[in-house]
Amino acid sequence: MPDIPTALFFTGFTFLLAGLVKGVIGLGLPTVAVGLLSIVMLPAQAASLLIVPSLVTNIWQLAAGPRFWNTARRLWPMMAGIAAGTWAGSGLMTGDTADEATIALGFALIVYAALGLAAVRPSVPAKHENWLSPVIGAGTGLVTAATGVFVIPAVPYLQALGLQKDDLVQALGLSFTVSTIALALTLAQEGVFAASTAAASLLALMPALAGMALGQWVRGRVSERAFRLCFFVGLLMLGGHLAAGAFT
């Protein structure tokens, strides 16, 4: 365990970097934060520390989108599934399979990013959304409960809906906001997210916001093609970081 000044610097840098990634590609704050902070603390503690930065930055991302109510009406079955799946997976992050779940998530991200970089564009017919959305949501909730990361299978599914850049970013913000709230309630129920942890999480908000502001400035100045490239390269890097645990 590093000394307090080193730990504070490392935590601040982690959330600055995580916010930057999120600002550019619309996701990644939990993945980067939990992955890096797990070097110096338990994954459940790292997940608790990211609650406030994740919630605020996701609400910011959600509010910045163009059509909130349309997005919410379309995706509410998925959001309900996320809440139910996270509740059903309570205890997974602190259980014996937490490391294996994180490694599996890393490999799943690598596969998805490789497909995206290869220009494979999956699609979900509108007639299947009504039943598929809650299933995807429940799966995302279970992964959230096990790893503290909200990406799989939510991101591939939202990508498959064929949303435009800004609509996709807003849909991600909605999904991640619901996931963060569900995760916070689950960790609080398990006694991991307490008042002292919430205060520490609040302190991590400033570097996360600074990083996200910088990332959004960068994203606002790239083309659709460059945005997609950043999106999938970012996923590939995040997945590689998580999967590296299989070789250590």
Residue 46 · residue 199 · CB < 8 Å: no
Position of tokens 């999106």? 231
What's 161's DSSP letter? T
CB atoms within 10 A of CB 118: 9
What string of DSSP letters covers 162-226?
A: T--HHHHHHHHHHHHHHHHHHHHHHHHHTT-S-HHHHHHHHHTHHHHHHHHHHHHHHHTTS-HHH
Gyration radius of the chain over CA positions = 17
Q: E strand or H helix at 40, and its extent?
A: none
The tokens describing 43, both together, are: 């994954």
- What pLDDT is stored for residue 39 in this prediction? 73
Total length of the chain:
248
**Residue 229 phi, psi (nearest 5):** -60, -45
d(CA 24, CA 214): 8
Tens of pLDDT, residue by residue over 156-165, are: 899 889 888 7
Position of tokens 């991101």? 155
**Is 4's pLDDT higher than 80?**
no
d(CA 176, CA 188): 18
Tens of pLDDT, residue by residue over 29-74, are: 887 888 778 777 777 888 899 899 989 888 877 877 678 888 889 9
Tens of pLDDT, residue by residue over 172-196, are: 889 999 999 999 999 998 888 888 8
> How is the chain split into domains, by residue range?
4-247
Tens of pLDDT, residue by residue over 85-117, are: 999 988 887 766 667 777 877 888 888 788 778
**Residue 97 phi, psi (nearest 5):** -100, 10
d(CA 178, CA 97): 24
Write the single-letter amino acid at 59. I
Higher pLDDT, residue 212 or 223: 212
- Of residues 34, 49, 56, the one with CA closest to residue 143: 34
Angle at 197 between CA 194 and CA 198, to 5 degrees: 85
